[in-house]
Structure 1
């Protein structure tokens, strides 16, 4: 299985030179300028998979008491193995000679640890686990419910990969749930808006009279209120609360009429504003908006490119510093061998 575009996930690494050469030939890995094989088989930095790939740079010399891991960029890093019960590196070693230390590439993928670490739970490397019953249920609209169940039973090895069928089932169920929630929300908004319109219509109807007989003087509440106000002014016996309510309804009616008049005038202006000058102004405005959108888009692309270049330059500098350190360590080691 491909791993982030630079390597492949495997079940285990070679444990002898023959297996190392066969794997290097299979991946068509070359050698660096010192003649060291560029084939590497190491755990990833999370210790959830073992990755084999062809290293692009110089195979450096590693410090004793350390193992190797690879990050998502394909860069090798060292981790301490001094707490291992057995199998930790005791001397300087080349990255290509990691096959001599099986404890450095035997991992517990579930617990994300090295098997030789005393804190790591013991596992059976040939054990397989059965995982099944990925079930997703969802209810349809119009008061009818249907259940969509996906079940998949398969052999899942220590790599911890989920079957493709189960992933598809979970994805479909999630999309259906989101669609149902969105539909319920839209229905709620529609009913809320409709209720407001009905309330406004009832209020206007009460102010203007019956919808069936809008000119009926006996059924028109405003006429009744006008008469009541005239009687109250004459007799002075109308309650102040009733007068406030009547005045409030009258003001609402005037506001509704003003709104209707304003909308009517706006429509007339929109219909009459078809001159050439206004058309040119509208086109110019559209062009300006389009240019502004393109400028913002270019700036976003340039910023993303700049950030990507900065990130790559930092990674490159880090790799160069690491290579220099390894080269110095290799030189010291060679001097030590020469003196010995």
Structure 2
């Protein structure tokens, strides 16, 4: 059963999500800088930064499936509307020099955004004649916004601090305007299924379990590299913090090229493609004599990690029960962010035990095994 509505260009859904995700991420550099000015405590700034990711870990498994219960477009619209109010509050509070209330509003803006991506990813296959293409674009912006938003915010903070928070308001309003009013989507179940039933139905599907394990492994790699790369740059390559910054930027911004990379390797099997764009770059970084030699493989790795996440999202779109697609994607969201945080936590210990070369080689071997199994 579907609702009667005119055909909708799926690019409007992708654009709305991209605008909203960047708008929510953009004020964080100004927010952390404001907290540093009044507290000057690295631990407090670290906790404030962690609050950006905590809602994704704690709430995605519970709220990600909201669209399956109330309608997917409705869940997205409510999410963006709530973020309009909260992002405007963040801007007003920061401009009023009230960083702690602004932190609360910013964290809430992340929390109410949790249902949006799973609902959109579940909705796109119903609307698109090219679901692979539009899913790749959606996933790319979901991941890249975590880098692009703060990068733009940091640039604006350096040039015009007030603009670094004010710009987020028209962006989030534009997201609400771009979002279609109606789409011909599958009606939510009249039985209002329980969350536990959804989790059980989703995890009973072999392809969904494999996709979640594969993407969790990739996010452990992201978490480990985010911490370990600094030590490797300073010790093994003797290059310092600047080199770490350039390598991190190369990996992060290259994620925007994932749809292009997906088209380039589209004729290969998913497992072989994943080895070429994830495992091979890790091996090259492992044997790189310096940070400049590692820059190109790090960029390929950033694009490749996002490309494989596009693939695992598509696996869940196709494999999850139709009534629980958003539940599957929400559960995966929670799992992957938790995996990235776990990777960051264990990275110092792994470096101490394995050393830089052993750590990178171990990541490559683990990725190879899991991707061969998970994408088969």
TM-score relative to the length of structure 1: 0.21
Q: Which has the larger radius of gyration?
A: 1
Structure with more of its chain in strand, by fraction: 1
**Greater relative CO, 1 or 2 (CA 8 Å, sep 6+):** 2
TM-score relative to the length of structure 2: 0.19
